[in-house]
Amino acid sequence: MKRSIKTIFPDAITLDYVDPGFSAAVITWQKQHGRHALPWQQSSDAYRVWLSEIMLQQTQVTAVIPYYARFLQSFPTVFDLASASSEQVMSHWSGLGYYTRARNLHQCAKQVVAQYGGNFPADPALLEQFPGIGRSTAAAISAFSYGTIAAILDGNVKRVFARVFGIEGYPGSKPVEDAMWQRAQALLPAADIESYTQGLMDLGATLCTRSRPACQRCPLQTRCIAYAHERTGELPMRKPKKAQKEKQALMLVMQHENQVLLEQRPNSGIWGGLLSLPEIDGMRDLLATGAPAWTDRLPEVRQLIAQFGESEEITSLPEFTHVFTHFKLHIQPVRASLSQRHAMIAEARYVWVDLAQIQQAALPAPVKNLLLTMAR
């Protein structure tokens, strides 16, 4: 059921921002030049729309498409996803990054089944109550699935607004974001909400890109303040930089014949819920003095190995770096070949996995890539 703007957000309209010509230009452009062949655009089913919107958070379309297809093949309905094991879900998500999304996805599916009989509610305010669904995502799901007139404000839309309306300040700061939300509400069209919402996303993804925007093809060029004042390189303003933290992890690649030892990580934190290589004392913050050589921690390495078997040889593998949003992780792998293996200790978090099965395992991308290279 479609809802009016005031029904959903009664106090958010700012009359100074009302501009019917803006939405009309976006809708006309989207119908003629926007994207229409993406897999999730072929259905208004709320489950498929929700799945795509969660996957697309902070992730490029090209990366999402194969994961979306595999998810639907294994979990064609919300009931299938809700009844799946955590290991199955994390395995299907492995490599897509931001793993909290996968845990929230699983919990959300369970709640939709338990609370709404498998039917996603149409009201964005109700959708927001589910894990992993924020205000913008709730509006997108409701708009695409039910035609609800509700405003989105993801990163692409913020960039379009900042440039077209010449908005100063970092869009992630609360005062700027609040003002953008008011503008997003005021600019909503009375009809064609699906084309308008998709149009905003398409403009930000294909024309009004972070670098080298295609201003000559943009339907909003004549009203764009950033274009008129040659400020597309400045707007939106970037977040004030902080020194990026650096961490080191000493990971143990323990092998016996054609198997490698993996450890289940805690549900919270980096790579939560995934399998990974055992770490010596976890991740360490790097200070100005740098990290100690792995040989300085050899007693700790030998102590951990001794829990699982007798080592034939201990050698280091080339260090590599994985970049997260907020820090860099320098990974030093240490390989240990076991001449014999002890019976598995009574800790369920450890498991021996065949190297031939690594591709299907729920592993962080850098760890999977390391082990796949070794398996060749």
What pLDDT sits at residue 240? Answer: 83
Do 204 and 270 share a domain, yes or no? Answer: no
Residue 256 lies in a domain: yes
What pLDDT sits at residue 79? Answer: 98
Model confidence at 345, pLDDT cuts 50, 70, 90, reads low
Which residues neighbour 49 within 8 Å (Cβ) at sequence distance 6 or greater? Answer: 40, 43, 140, 141, 144, 145
Distance of CA 303 to the CA centre of its chain: 37
Do 55 and 178 share a domain, yes or no? Answer: yes
Percentage with pLDDT > 70 across the chain: 94
What whole-number distance in Å separates Cα of residue 246 and Cα of residue 173? Answer: 25
What whole-number distance in Å separates Cα of residue 49 and Cα of residue 35? Answer: 15
Overall domain count for the chain: 2
| 214-225 core/surface letters (b: 16 or more CB in 10 A; e: else) | eeeebbbbeebe
Do 206 and 265 share a domain, yes or no? Answer: no
* Residue given tokens 């369970």 in the structure block: 110
Please give the residue range of the domain that contains residue 341.
Answer: 245-375
Q: Work out the average pLDDT over 130-155.
A: 98
Quick check: is 279 catalytic? no
Kindly tell me if the per-residue pLDDT of 14 is higher than 90: no
Model confidence at 177, pLDDT cuts 50, 70, 90, reads very high
What whole-number distance in Å separates Cα of residue 236 and Cα of residue 172? Answer: 10
Q: Helix, strand, coil: what percent of the chain each, to 5?
A: 45, 15, 40
Do 190 and 320 share a domain, yes or no? Answer: no
The Cα angle at residue 216 between residues 213 and 218, in degrees rounded to 5: 75
Catalytic residue among 53, 177, 257, 310: 53
Kindly tell me if the per-residue pLDDT of 10 is higher than 70: no
CA atoms within 13 A on the CB side of 341: 15
- Peptide bond connecting 299 to the previous residue in cis, omega within 30 degrees of 0: no
Residue 238 lies in a domain: no
Do 40 and 153 share a domain, yes or no? Answer: yes
- The interaxial angle of helices 46-55 and 61-74, nearest 10 deg, is 140
What whole-number distance in Å separates Cα of residue 275 and Cα of residue 266? Answer: 9
CA dist 223 → 21, 229, 286 (Å) = 10, 11, 48
What pLDDT sits at residue 180? Answer: 96
What whole-number distance in Å separates Cα of residue 293 and Cα of residue 85? Answer: 40
